[in-house]
C-alpha cells in the first residue's frame, strides 16, 4: 500500500494542467467539501489552510472573544489553546482521564465559571473523548462544543462518528495525520448559519460566501460596484492543489485508517501481559483509529526510565517513538507571557491538572503510519523484546 497513490497524482495533475485559471481554481475544493460532508452524514464542510485556523474560525463564528473562557485539555498539541488566544478569549485547562488520556468531563465541570462559553474537546491519539459527559455538561451550562479531531479520523462513538457530536468539528491534514496533502484543515457543522459565518470569516469576509458556497462568480468579481467585504475575515482558504490531493485521500480514507489500526493491533499483542506500560484505554462502544499508539510508562522515575527505555528500543533496532508534548500551560510562553496579555486573568502555573502532569513525562507514542505492515510487525517484535530486557 502507498500513502500517495496514482489517484492523488492524477488529481494534482488536473489542477496543474488547468494552469490555476480563476474559472477552475475552486473546482477540487468544491468536490472535496461535498465528499467530506457526505462522509459525516451531510451538513457543511469548509476546507481551510490548516487545522489551527479551523478552530479560530469556529470560535469566531460562535462569537467567542474577549471576556470569554474556553475549557481545553492540557495534554495535546498547543494549537488547541493557541486558537483560543487568537480569538481573544481565555483558555482554561481541565484535567484528563487517567485511562483514556482525554478530557475528563468531571474536571471540565469544575472549571466552568460564569465566563465559560465553550469546550474544545480533543480526540487524542485517535480516540474519541467522552462525548456523552461533555454534551451533558454543555447542555447544563449552555456551552458550545467544538471537536478538535486533528488526530481522530473515522473513529466511532457508539452509533456515530467522531465529528458528529459538536457545534463544529475540526480536522487536520498536516503531514503526520491520517489523511494529508502536506497541510490543510477542514471544519464541519450541520448549522447553515454557523457554516455561513465560518466560511465568510475564512474568506476575507466576502459577501458572496454562503454555507455551501465558497467561490465568487466571475460576474461579481468583475463588477466595479460589487461590495465584496460584508464582514471582517482572514484568508484561511485551502489551495486547490491541496484539495485535489486530499480528495483522493478522502476517497481512500477507509484503507488509510485501517492500515494504522492494523499496526496498532500488532503493538497491542506485543504488550500482552506486560505491566511496564499502560496503553490508552478504549471504552466499550468506541473505536480508536490510532494516530499513534499511546501508552504510559509505569515508573516512579520517568525522568530516567523513559530515556533508558528509548535508548534500549533504539539499540534493538526500533524506529524510535514520540514523547507527549509538554502540557500546554507548562510551556514557557504560557507561564511567562500569556498572563500579562490584556484580558487574560488566568494564571498558568504547575499543579492545575495533576493527572495530566503525572502522565505527560511517562507518555510514549509509537508511530502507526506504516504502509508496509512487515515494518510494523518488526517494531512490535522489538517492543516485546525491549520490554523483556528492561
H or E segment and range at residue 47:
strand 44-48
- Of the candidates 135, 177, 197, 215, the residue annotated as catalytic is 177
Q: Where on the phi/psi map is residue 20: left (φ > 0), alpha (ψ -120 to 50), or beta?
A: left
- How many whole angstroms separate alpha carbon 311 and alpha carbon 326? 20
Query: Are 92 and 71 within 8 A, CB to CB?
Result: yes
Asked if residue 58 lies in contact with residue 198, where contact means CB atoms within 8 angstroms, the answer is: yes
Q: What is the dihedral of CA 273, 124, 184, 217, to 10 degrees?
A: 130
215 is catalytic: no
Cell (9 digits) for 177: 495525520
* C-beta atoms surrounding 177 within 10 Å: 23
The answer to whether 96 and 107 have CB atoms below 8 angstroms apart is: yes
Instruction: Please count the other Cβ atoms lying within 10 Å of the Cβ belonging to residue 332.
Output: 9
**How many angstroms separate the CA atoms of 195 and 217, rounded?**
19
Which DSSP string do the residues of 191-256 spell out, in sequence order?
-HHHHHHHHHHTBTTBTT-BTTB----HHHHT-TT---BSS---B-BPPHHHHHHHHHHHHTHHHH
Q: What is the DSSP letter of 24?
A: G
**Residues with Cβ within 8 Å of residue 18, at least 6 apart in sequence:** 24, 25, 27
Catalytic residue IDs = 177
Amino acid at each position: 500500500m502507498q500513502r500517495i497513490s496514482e489517484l492523488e497524482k492524477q488529481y494534482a495533475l488536473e489542477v496543474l494542467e488547468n494552469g490555476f485559471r480563476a474559472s477552475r481554481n475552486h473546482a477540487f475544493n468544491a468536490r472535496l467539501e461535498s465528499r467530506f460532508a457526505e462522509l459525516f452524514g451531510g451538513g457543511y464542510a469548509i476546507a481551510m489552510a490548516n487545522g489551527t485556523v479551523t478552530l479560530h474560525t469556529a470560535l469566531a463564528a460562535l462569537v467567542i472573544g474577549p471576556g470569554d473562557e474556553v475549557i481545553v485539555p492540557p495534554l495535546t498539541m498547543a494549537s488547541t489553546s493557541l486558537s483560543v488566544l487568537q480569538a481573544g478569549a481565555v483558555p482554561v485547562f481541565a484535567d484528563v482521564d487517567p485511562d483514556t488520556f482525554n478530557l475528563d468531563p468531571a474536571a471540565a465541570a469544575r472549571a466552568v465559571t460564569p465566563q465559560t462559553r465553550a469546550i474544545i474537546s480533543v480526540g487524542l491519539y485517535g480516540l474519541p473523548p467522552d462525548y456523552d459527559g461533555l454534551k451533558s455538561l454543555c447542555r447544563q451550562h449552555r456551552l458550545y462544543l467544538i471537536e478538535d479531531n486533528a488526530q481522530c479520523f473515522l473513529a466511532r462513538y457508539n452509533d456515530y462518528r467522531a465529528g458528529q457530536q459538536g457545534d463544529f468539528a475540526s480536522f487536520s491534514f498536516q503531514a503526520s495525520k491520517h489523511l494529508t496533502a502536506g497541510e490543510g484543515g477542514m471544519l464541519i457543522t450541520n448549522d447553515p448559519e454557523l457554516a455561513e459565518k465560518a466560511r465568510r470569516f475564512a474568506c476575507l469576509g466576502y459577501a458572496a460566501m454562503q454555507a455551501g458556497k465558497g467561490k465568487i462568480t466571475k460576474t461579481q468579481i468583475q463588477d466595479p460596484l460589487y461590495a465584496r467585504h460584508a464582514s471582517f475575515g482572514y484568508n484561511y482558504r485551502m489551495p486547490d492543489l491541496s484539495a485535489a490531493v486530499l480528495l483522493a485521500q478522502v476517497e481512500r480514507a477507509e484503507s488509510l485508517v485501517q492500515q494504522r489500526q492494523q499496526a496498532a493491533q500488532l503493538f497491542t499483542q506485543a504488550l500482552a501481559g506486560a505491566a511496564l506500560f499502560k496503553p490508552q484505554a478504549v471504552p466499550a462502544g468506541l473505536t480508536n483509529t490510532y494516530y499513534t499508539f499511546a501508552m504510559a510508562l509505569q515508573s516512579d522515575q520517568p525522568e530516567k526510565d523513559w530515556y533508558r527505555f528509548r535508548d534500549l528500543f533504539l539499540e534493538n533496532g526500533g524506529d524510535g517513538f514520540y514523547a507527549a508534548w509538554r502540557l500546554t500551560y507548562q510551556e514557557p510562553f504560557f507561564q511567562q507571557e500569556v498572563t500579562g496579555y490584556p484580558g487574560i486573568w488566568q494564571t498558568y502555573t504547575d499543579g492545575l491538572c495533576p493527572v495530566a502532569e503525572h502522565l505527560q513525562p511517562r507518555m510514549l507514542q509509537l508511530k502507526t503510519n506504516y504502509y508496509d505492515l512487515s515494518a510494523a510487525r518488526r517494531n512490535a517484535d522489538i517492543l516485546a523484546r525491549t520490554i523483556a530486557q528492561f
